[in-house]
Structure 1
Amino acid sequence: MAFTEHPLRRELVHEMHLRRFAPVHAPARIVQMVYLIAEDRRGEEQRHLSSLPLKPVSIEQESRHAVLRFAGDLTVLWERHTEATTITLIAPREGQDAMAPLTEWFGAWPGSVLRATKVFVEPGEAEAEALLPEMGFEDADLVSCHVCSGVRVWSDFRIRDDGYGRLLVSAPGRQPDDLGRIVQRLQELGNYRNLALVGLPRVQRLMPELNALEDRLAAHAQALVNEAEGGDERLLHDLSQVSAELAQVRAENSYRTSASQAYAQIAADRLDALDVQPIDGYQSLTDFTERRLVPATRTIETFVNRLRRLSERSGDVIALLNTRIDTRIKAQNLELLRSMESSFNLQLRLQNLVEALSVIAASYYAVALIAYMAKGAVGFGEEGHEVDVAIALIAPVVILTIFLLVSRIRHRFIKETENAAARSDKRHPLNDA
């Protein structure tokens, strides 16, 4: 090629063609099953996919999609989703007996069935209405409407004794590829609707727990207003416990609630794409879907919003409590500083008193020294005053010695202090800047 291709270009183009449905030739019978499969069981799924009960005529298999064609115009579609797997069997009306080994193979698939549907596709409305008695639909729950400009569907979306739901479709004048796309949209609507509803029971079970956490948080917030400062540590512990429980609920359910909201949006998109036209006397797909899916989606959305707001409120209350604790600590530090200041003032007054007394003592000793030297001066050269002369001579030497010793000690202390300060400045990182 004369141009540089983006490394993801072919992967993205392939993604656009990945989920094509096989052509459906009316009259046809379709069996589709949706399995929820844990990630650690994906290996089992691959092994089961390779253990076919019939020998296929052709196989088109990729990492997440496969098309298997068998004799008698039987087609099996396998598609792997993020957390689910869809398996579809398409056969002509006359080939229903040949479907039995493959439907049994479907039933042994790893995982748990989320949705299982048998779709009956007829070329005309009269042929479809002739099958209505054997469908066993509940009249009170029957949904019937036109979709995609002329295709009519019937279903009550109930599970029969064999574990399958029933969907009846009449598609006059539709080409196989077009009819395949319509059946795919109809099935995806139901599949994504069920996937969206998976999160509802969990949310409903968590609502009482969320109510209890909300009550505890309100009680702790009220205690923050009413209680004395002595209980702040206990209150902080209780609030931290509530906050931890909220975080745990949020972490354990965030994926499921987010996935439910995403699936609900996809189901709504599929419903819009079907262009539903109501029929008098019947509820339409829009009525059936919105009457059930919209309240469930709003319940999940309400749960998510409540959980988020409770987490924010818990953080706000903890922040207020921390502010009060910090304020109290600062007040205690201020009282400590005031006490230290009072002690320093007292020590200063005592020091002043000691200095005043030291002046008296120094004066006394100075007078005594002067007296000794005066006596020595008077007695110099006279007999009997040798001791006084010796004291007079020694006194200046002692004073000078003590002065020099004190000065040396003082200078040594000052030098050591300056050296220590210099070493501290060199280690400080701000001095390099």
Structure 2
Amino acid sequence: MPKVRAFYDHPLRAPVLAELHARPFVPVSTPARILHVAFLVDREQAIADRAAFAALCASRGQSGPGREAKQHRVSFGGAVVRWERHAEFTTYTWELPAEDLVEGGLPFHPPSGALADTLLQVPQPGPLLVAVDLQLVTDTADALPLDRLFDRSSLARSDVEDGFAEVATDFQPDPSGFVRILVRDRGMTPDAAGALVQRVLEIETYRTLALLGLPEAQRLAPTVARIENQLGALTEEMRQTEGLAANNKLLDALTSLASELEADAAASLFRFGATRAYEEIVNSRLRAIGERTISGYPTWQQFLLRRLQPAMRTCQAIEQRQANLSVKLSSAANLLRTRVDVELEQQNRDLLHSMNKRARLQLRLQQTVEGLSVAAISYYVISLLHYVLEGLHARAEAAGIHYDVGTATAAAVPFVALGIWLVVRRIRKGHFDEE
């Protein structure tokens, strides 16, 4: 039986298929306490972080992340650590042992700062941006009031997962720098609890990352406003300016402004693009958890809409102003460049007209010089001929030939002048043929 030839795969088929399973939900049993941190890293820091985590895993007798792995989950002394690599940040998530979750029956005790030994097992790869202390507890009638755990003025809470859970947070860091999130379980399965925990952590992570665009927008705002004002002043000056030198000066100023604007736009391109992407992820995760309103409290979506959206609109406004300014600067520069080109064409036309006039004058002068040259050369030739005739006169007398030297010289003048004129004309025609 002949063997069927196997199909060959596209080089990207494996990573594309694996991407759907890069960060799967992990089942979580109630109760659970999860500490989650995110560090901003560049390429070199990310490589060093992967190597450091792999070394830590090896020192504990565990396998480390693969070369192309985006996440790795390993158990250290009862605590489960999950490492994830993202585009510009790395996250570590610790799921602590159940017996260490609650001290004295109170959530978030012991405080996250007391768990520093657990967190410092891995070297810090870059600056810390996100720190979350999430506690998953069973919802009971005698549960501790949330007002004692969170700041009431910024407390956001809502029912999620079709009422099988409640999430609450005030989005404020505790004394140890961790944002506390409480999840009350009302009968979720471990799989549903794991999915909810991951989505809640992603909401806090990505909303923080999205806000990185705000400082960049605030930094660029004065520069954008200054360029807008200078552009207005330059366009007004364009209406009153005449002359090539003045227009060239304005064109240099516009080019300088455009260069400054494009440099800032290029530097902020990634940050604003990432901000939009992170905002979309936050919104998609909020939709996924299916919030329901709890009377007297804003939902997470309502709270973030009121606090996060103004920052996002600021970033969008600066980005849009940069784009509009770029178009206006380009239009102004093109208009001014057209004026400069027109003035240059006028100058060239005047220059050509002047050159034509000068050429005509030179031609007339040349013709005059040629006429004088014919007369002068004829004079010298006639003078030489006269001397020749005088020298031959004596011998001619001896031979019986009588002629008047003056008459002979006068008779030769027309022929000499005509001959010289023909020679000069032939020379000039030769020059024209060469051109």
Q: Report the TM-score, using the length of structure 1 for normalisation.
A: 0.81
- Which of 147, 154, 160 aligns to 1:141? It is 154
Query: Match of 1:90?
Result: 95
Q: CA offset at residue 311 of structure 1?
A: 1.4
Query: Match of 1:425?
Result: none
Deviation track 1:337-377 (CA, whole Å, cap 9, x = no partner) reads 33334444555666787899999999999xx99xxx9xx9x
RMSD: 3.9
Deviation track 1:30-69 (CA, whole Å, cap 9, x = no partner) reads 0000111232322431343145499757546233321112
Q: CA offset at residue 4 of structure 1?
A: 3.1
The answer to whether structure 1 residue 101 and structure 2 residue 117 are counterparts is yes
The CA distance in 1 between the partners of 2:373 and 2:126, in whole Å, is 97
Correspondence 1:30-429 to 2 at 5 A:
30-50=34-54, 52=56, 56=60, 58-59=62-63, 61-62=65-66, 63-72=69-78, 74-96=79-101, 101-105=117-121, 108-126=123-141, 129-130=143-144, 132=146, 136-150=149-163, 151-229=165-243, 230-346=245-361, 383-385=401-403, 387=405, 409=427, 413=431, 417=434
The CA distance in 2 between the partners of 1:345 and 1:53, in whole Å, is 93
Q: Would you say the 8 A contact 1:78–1:87 is kept in 2?
A: yes
Q: Would you say the 8 A contact 1:55–1:70 is kept in 2?
A: no
Query: Match of 1:7?
Result: 11
Q: CA offset at residue 186 of structure 1?
A: 0.9
Q: CA offset at residue 274 of structure 1?
A: 1.5
The CA distance in 1 between the partners of 2:401 and 2:131, in whole Å, is 138
Q: Would you say the 8 A contact 2:37–2:131 is kept in 1?
A: yes
**Structure 1 counterpart SS, 2:37:** strand
Q: CA offset at residue 105 of structure 1?
A: 2.4
Q: Report the TM-score, using the length of structure 2 for normalisation.
A: 0.80
Q: Would you say the 8 A contact 1:125–1:171 is kept in 2?
A: no
Q: Would you say the 8 A contact 2:221–2:318 is kept in 1?
A: yes
Q: CA offset at residue 184 of structure 1?
A: 0.6
The CA distance in 2 between the partners of 1:122 and 1:59, in whole Å, is 31
The CA distance in 2 between the partners of 1:407 and 1:100, in whole Å, is 107
Q: Which runs of 5+ in 2 are unaligned?
A: 102-109
Deviation track 1:134-185 (CA, whole Å, cap 9, x = no partner) reads 6x20112111101221220111111010111111101222221221111111
Q: CA offset at residue 228 of structure 1?
A: 3.0
Q: CA offset at residue 237 of structure 1?
A: 2.0
Aligned length: 407
The change in CA–CA distance for 1:394 and 1:210 in structure 2 (over 3 A counts) is closer
- Which of 24, 27, 30 aligns to 1:23? It is 27
Q: Which runs of 5+ in 1 are unaligned?
A: 422-433
The change in CA–CA distance for 1:35 and 1:331 in structure 2 (over 3 A counts) is same
**Structure 1 counterpart SS, 2:172:** coil
The CA distance in 2 between the partners of 1:272 and 1:409, in whole Å, is 96
